[in-house]
Amino acid sequence: MDLVPAPSGKTPVKSPVVEVEAVEAVDVAEQVEAETVALEDASSEFETDSDGSEDWDTLSHGGDTIQFLRDEQLRDGLVPGACTLDEAVAFRQRLHDIGKAAFVEETIAREAVTAKKLCTAFGIMPPAFLEGAPDESYHPLLAIALSREFARRPKLPQYNTIEDAVRLLQESKNIVVLTGAGISTSLGIPDFRSKDTGLYSKLEHLGLSDPQEVFDIHVFQEDPSIFFSIAKDILPTEKKFSPTHGFIKLLQDKGKLLTNYTQNIDNIEANAGVLPEKIVQCHGSFATATCVKCNFKVLGDAIFSDIRDGKIPECTACPEAIAQEALKPQGLKRKRSSNGQHKDRKEEFDDSSDDDDYEIPTPGVMKPDITFFGEDLPDEFGQRLIHHDRELVDLVIVIGTSLKVAPVAEVPGILPRNVPQIYISRTPVSHTGFDIDLLGDCDVVVSELCRRAGWNLQHHMIPADEAVEVTPLEGHESRHVFKVVGA
């Protein structure tokens, strides 16, 4: 679910939830049909310094693929003829400093570097189908690479250390916290994408072409049993919360929490005491459920027993409506053929008493009010982000999410670029740039930050004598690894 970060509010954020493919190799789509166009024919791509955010992460050219490079590959010299990591960083910074048009004039027009090599500086591996072609053949790909990079938020160079992160926590007054499944895993609730342990890795038995289909609204409409077969595994259980949820509550208590945008559907923030007015449930939650037929709404607790038993919860209001309908005078009934196709009109309205051919009314399914892939996010998401938080935010903290679900993945790019951003998770992300990366177990990271800030984060899951070792990640000035001593 990996769209290029949206520019300052120009991209509408009320859009269906989709999976953003931040993979290393993707099909090259129709968007790059003219891969042999010369620079002058592709000049429209270079002429503007707009940070427009077309979804260039799904490119295709027949059956070929384009690989997206990681910085580690450049750093380790694994790609022949590619830029070094230092060269790539310098090229990226220069692009942001002078804009796309001037950058192309300075590099390609003056033949200071080939387009083929320059593509690697911006994360695109020169594709095999262009091997041996004139350098001009790489211009459209370079245009795409520049647009992708220019849309990315550049790192703020003044923020790098743990001390910087602590100072930002202490001084900030309007903090936006964006959270994902990683903040609940310590409670036994699985995340979705972790290898071997994530929910998606355990769904092969369902026979889906893509495990994410379990949360696809069209699949749900066709066969809700697929979703309910796994719903019990992600259903919130006891009224408990993790230290990271407690950290968000602590920010609220200190008057620093502007908004917690949560992608989680477990509603555990409420268990921690985070106020409803401080939370935006980006993907909905299990807190309520709605009938897909009559829109009757209930509290989530009303269907939890059925979900835990692996049953499909049915609407309790529908039977009364069905009974009322049955009392009305019935006209000729429309019959269905056994193969699902309508019979001819003469047979179609046959009034025989073969009830097996009639569609018997049944109660609707109670769908938890979570946002499936293909459904729009709640209006509150875009309204609050664009018209409220963007004007007030002074610090962004992203915790426990790989940022692969759009449009929530676009939040860091929508907020002002001069506002510092901190990322807390087990592993860094490469498709979005943060100022400081704090890597490790979320609970461990936030508890250590609070210790250093002089804050008292109390939680029974935090040992009183916990000692945390923080070490810089080699080759990355602003990435730091947190590990409990002796663990």
In this structure, the number of other CB atoms found within 10 A of the CB of residue 466 comes to 16
CA distances from 177 to 154, 261, 304, 401, 414 (A): 20, 6, 29, 11, 14
CA count, 13 A, side-chain hemisphere, 7: 13
- Catalytic: 480? no
318 is in an annotated binding site: yes
- Closest C-alpha to 123, from 152, 101, 97, 100: 152
Residue tagged active-site, from 61, 96, 245, 283? 283
Residue 241 φ/ψ region, left for φ over 0, alpha for ψ in the -120 to 50 degree band, beta for the rest? beta
Q: Where are the beta strands (DSSP E) in 266-403?
A: 279-281, 284-291, 297-299, 366-370, 395-399
Structure tokens at 72: 């580690």
Contact 284, 371 (CB under 8 A): yes
Burial of 430 (0-12, 13-18, 19+ CB in 10 A): middle
291 is in an annotated binding site: yes
CA count, 13 A, side-chain hemisphere, 135: 11
Give the whole-angstrom CA distance, residue 286 versus residue 323.
29
Structure tokens at 296: 């009757």
* Binding site residue list: 291, 294, 315, 318
* Binding site residue list for Zn(2+): 291, 294, 315, 318
Catalytic residues: 283
